[in-house]
Amino acid sequence: MPPGAGLFFGVWRDKMPRLDVHPTDYGVFYSARRTWDDDDQYEWHRINQFIFPFHTMITGANGVGLRSFVPLDDEWAMLITQSGSLTEKVYDPENPVPDPFAAAGGFVERTSNPQSYFYTKANKHNDYSRDYEVERTRQVCGVPAVGNLQDRAMTELMSNAKGEVIYDRSHEHLGTLDVMCITVRRQVLKAAKAFRDHGILPPNVDDISKDRVRHATVVLPFGADWVKETEHIRSSDAGLAPAWEMKPLAETELAQAIKV
């Protein structure tokens, strides 16, 4: 199987991940684990990060992406995305960055209202182009996995019966796959109370070395201690690529790096 080819096989065969969440002093990280092969010998781990106060790093290809949800007021936030790569140019003036939502219709035409600037044509008025056949056979969610369209579908619909955007979380029905959301909320509330009551900020605010983490994707033998095995790859100082060829870990450079 060529590098990367197994990615879609793994998603199609085992579309329901099992989450393992770990709180830290800088935020939270977790693995979304899926069975990789027919013999159940290997597992595919997608490891993502939440970093105080409002940053996330979500696994994607062989680059690093940081998303910052910067509050603007009590109801709105601005999402700023930054990308990096150890192997490729992030920006080439001769080849402009393509529309990340092109495969789902792209953005609507801009108006004088700033809220229309990055509004996608796949939106709540057309159910975000949800495909029920894809949802039945290949993905947990039938919304196209294009850009952050699935995230938009979840967050933009969080309003009460009056359309007010601040949602009463006590009305939510959280499930197994929401354990990361639950843990992040607990961490944020804990940090907010520590600052309110004792003036204590999260350690990574002043010690930025704690922020030098990243996401990762790797295939490990079934039952392996993924936290221990990926400690090196989750460090942004390791000099290792965040995504590895889709083959057993023992056959990759990462195994050698860990041994050293």
Domain assignment of residue 113, yes or no = no
Domain assignment of residue 238, yes or no = yes
Its domain, for residue 226, covers: 1-74+206-260
- Into how many domains does the chain fold? 1
Length of the chain: 260
pTM: 0.78
DSSP string, 159-211: --TT--SS--GGG----GGGHHHHHHHHHHHHHHHHHHHH-PPPHHHH-GGGG
Domain assignment of residue 247, yes or no = yes
Q: What is the mean pLDDT of each run of 10 residues along the chain (260 residues)?
A: 37 75 97 85 92 91 84 86 78 78 92 85 93 88 89 82 78 86 95 97 95 90 92 85 54 47
Domain assignment of residue 115, yes or no = no
Domain assignment of residue 219, yes or no = yes
d(CA 80, CA 72): 12
Domain assignment of residue 55, yes or no = yes
Q: What is the pLDDT of residues 54-81, one digit of tens each?
A: 999 988 766 788 999 999 888 888 889 8
Counting DSSP H helices and E strands in the chain, the numbers are: 7, 7
Domain assignment of residue 145, yes or no = no
Q: What is the pLDDT of residues 106-143, one digit of tens each?
A: 999 999 887 788 889 999 999 999 999 988 888 888 99
Domain assignment of residue 195, yes or no = no
